[in-house]
Structure 1
Amino acid sequence: MVYLLLIIGFALLIKGADWFVTGASKIAHLLRVSPVLVGLTIVAFGTGAPEATVSVIAALEGNPGVTVGNVVGSNIINIAAVVGVTAVIFPLKVESQTVRKEIPFTLLGSIAFMALIIDVGVDSEATNLLSRGDGIVLLLFFAIFMYYVFELAMNHRQDEITPGVNERSDAEGGWKKNGIITVLGLAAIILGGYWVVESSTEIAVRFGMSETLVGLTVVSIGSSLPEFVTSITAALKKYSDLALGNIVGSCIFNVLFVLGIASVITPLPINTEFFLDVTFMIILTFVLLIFSRTNWQVGKGEGTVLVLSYLIYLVYIIMRN
Structure 2
Amino acid sequence: MILDIIIVIIGISVVLAGADRLTEGASALARRLHVSEIVIGLTIVAAGTSAPELFVSLVSALKGTPDLAVGNVVGSNIMNAMLIVGCAAMVAPMVISRSTVHKDIPFAVIASVLLVLACIDGQLSWTITGHTIGRLDGVMLLVGYVLFMYYTLKHAKADDSETAQVKAQSVWLSIIYVVVGLAALVFGSDWFVGAASRIATSLGVGESVIGLTIVAGGTSLPELATSVVAARKGRSAMAIGNVIGSNVFNVLMILGVTALICPMQINGITMIDLLMTLVSVALVWFFARTRYTVARWEGGVLTAGFLGYMAWLLSQA
- State the TM-score, normalizing by the size of structure 2: 0.92
8 Å Cα contact 2:42-2:241 kept in structure 1: yes
Structure 1 residue 118: Cα displacement: 1.1
Structure 1 residue 283: Cα displacement: 1.1
Q: 1:84-117: per-residue Cα shift (whole Å, max 9, x none)?
A: 1111111000011111111111111111111121
8 Å Cα contact 1:134-1:260 kept in structure 2: yes
Q: Distance in 1 between matches of 2:160 and 2:91?
A: 30
Q: What does residue 282 of structure 1 align with?
A: 278
Q: What does residue 19 of structure 1 align with?
A: 21
8 Å Cα contact 1:138-1:260 kept in structure 2: yes
**Percentage identity across paired residues of the two chains:** 39
Which one of the candidate residues 67, 85, 88 is aligned to 2:87?
85
Q: What does residue 300 of structure 1 align with?
A: 296
8 Å Cα contact 1:128-1:272 kept in structure 2: no
1:44-83 equivalences in 2 (<5 Å): 44-83=46-85
Q: Distance in 1 between matches of 2:32 and 2:11?
A: 31
8 Å Cα contact 2:53-2:73 kept in structure 1: yes
Change (3 A) 1:50 1:285: same
Question: Do residues 234 (structure 1) and 230 (structure 2) align?
Answer: yes
Q: Distance in 2 between matches of 1:119 and 1:207?
A: 34
Secondary structure of 1:271's counterpart equals: coil
Structure 1 residue 120: Cα displacement: 5.7
Q: What does residue 176 of structure 1 align with?
A: 172
Matched residue type, 1:141:
G
Structure 1 residue 7: Cα displacement: 2.3
Compute the RMSD of aligned alpha carbons. Answer: 1.7
Structure 1 residue 3: Cα displacement: 3.0
Tell me which structure has the larger Cα radius of gyration: 1
1:210-229 equivalences in 2 (<5 Å): 210-229=206-225
Structure 1 residue 287: Cα displacement: 1.3
Q: Distance in 1 between matches of 2:232 and 2:28?
A: 16
Q: Distance in 1 between matches of 2:20 and 2:187?
A: 15
Q: What does residue 243 of structure 1 align with?
A: 239
Matched residue type, 1:134:
D
Stretches of structure 1 lacking an aligned partner (at least 5 in a row): 162-169
Matched residue type, 1:289:
W
Structure 1 residue 273: Cα displacement: 3.9
How many pairs does the alignment contain? 305
Change (3 A) 1:151 1:120: closer
Q: What does residue 138 of structure 2 align with?
A: 135
Structure 1 residue 38: Cα displacement: 0.5
Which one of the candidate residues 144, 150, 157 is aligned to 2:147?
144
Q: What does residue 165 of structure 1 align with?
A: none
Which one of the candidate residues 299, 314, 318 is aligned to 2:314?
318
